Amino acid sequence: MARAFAKIAFTPGVQAVQTRMGSRHAYRSVDMGESEAVALTSFETEFIRSRDSFYQGTVGENGWPYVQHRGGPIGFLKVLDARTIGYADFSGNRQYISVGNLEGDARVSLFLMDYPGQRRLKIWGHARLIDKDSEPALIARLASPDYPARIERGVLITVDAFDWNCPKFITPRFTERELNALVDDGLGQPAPRRQRGGAGPHG
């Protein structure tokens, strides 16, 4: 587990529960000392670029969290450098809950799932909304040229921390594309994928 992630996630209240439940000793060394320099490696980059969806959490002015599913073509979530990711925000139901939340509080949390491989990557960061008229070059970098959905804005996220969860309790699920690939290859089951991260208590 990354120290930068633990510094954010292990609040005094969380630490108190860990102590009560007997897991504080296992995690204590993780959140002590200075945080490491946060940088996405080629492993995280490959994983991020192969996603066709993720879950995004924001916080409203009333303190309520809001989780939204974001989807698009494979690779619509872009890795721009070792600490910056972003995506084109496509026109949807026009409720603008996440957009409104981010205008008031830039903090964001992402869950990226690989159900067949039973992997999940958690990312915490600060988001900046990009106007397509004032920053067209950035919007172009976030666009997926062959995807027809209309882009309303871009979302640029500076990564403050990330962590890989253990695979426990992730039920394998397969998209139509993944199932077709398995049938075409005659495998009958997905090829094993290398796991990343510890096998400690799921968080």
**Exposure class string for 122-146: b at 16+ Cβ within 10 A, else e:** bbbbebbebebeebeebbeebbbee
pLDDT at 36: 75
pTM for this one? Answer: 0.85
The whole-number pLDDT of residue 68 equals: 96
* CATH superfamily, domain at 37-165: Electron Transport, Fmn-binding Protein; Chain A (2.30.110.10)
Per-residue pLDDT at 49: 97
What are the residue ranges in the chain where pLDDT is below 50? 191, 194, 197-202
Per-domain boundaries in the chain: 1-36, 37-165
Question: Per-residue pLDDT tens for 67-81?
Answer: 999 999 999 999 999
Query: Residue 181's pLDDT is what?
Result: 85
Per-residue confidence (pLDDT) for residue 198, from 0 to 100: 45
Report the C-alpha gap between 87 and 134 in whole angstroms.
16
Q: Comparing C-alpha atoms, which of 52, 68, 19, 63 is closest to residue 176?
A: 52
